[in-house]
Amino acid sequence: MTQPIDFQPVTIQPMEIEEKSFAIIAEEYGSHDLSREQFAVVQRIIHATADFELGRSVVLHPRAIAAGITAIRAGRPIIADVQMVQVGISKPRLNRFGCDVHVHISDSDVAKDAKEQEITRAIVAMRKATRMYTGGIYAIGNAPTALLELITLVKAGLAFPDLIIGVPVGFVSAGESKEELLKLDIPYITNQGRKGGSPVAVATVNALSLLADRMGDTSGDSRV
């Protein structure tokens, strides 16, 4: 007869678990050339996905961190491609700066126009967003067509994002859309390859909001 397993519940406090997780990530990641702020973003992405390969594939434009922090502290809008990204982003920190998170993929007019034009709702949602908001942070974690359309609008002089977080996941156009993003001379955070997803977009925005919130902190704590 199999003996029952003597299961002991975990009693570590949530903050202790997070601190231990970040320490493990820093140790296993090893040496790197990233700045403290850049590694804070990568660390959050790895923490959200437990995927070091994905974390090492992250590419940050030289102005990305500064652009993200400045946009958040200025109360600029954050535009998500899907509700999953919108829901996952931590609102209390952003609210302190007057930032709102918007998503338009489920708007009735977007659905109507997409059906009539026979294109994805993600494309129409990006077009609508760029008409509604000047600047802002675009966080795209799900739809490669949203990222490709946003890139097209930027090239056409119809969109002026402060920062593009372009990390869509998938087998069709996901990697290609990120390669196109790398060609833009505006701040971006992306990763190479098929991996990505809403949790990556969420982790990136949350890391930037933490950096914005802790701006001026001289405690020396490397975990944000």
State both tokens at 77.
Answer: 């809008």
| Beta strand segments in the chain, E | 58-60, 78-80, 101-103, 137-140, 163-166, 188-191
Question: Could you confirm whether 61 is annotated as catalytic?
Answer: no
Strands 188-191 and 58-60 turn out to be antiparallel
For residues 41 and 208, the answer to whether their CB atoms sit within 8 Å is yes
For residues 210 and 40, the answer to whether their CB atoms sit within 8 Å is yes
For residues 165 and 193, the answer to whether their CB atoms sit within 8 Å is no
Catalytic residue chosen out of the listed positions 32, 47, 61, 104? 47
Could you list the active site residues? 47
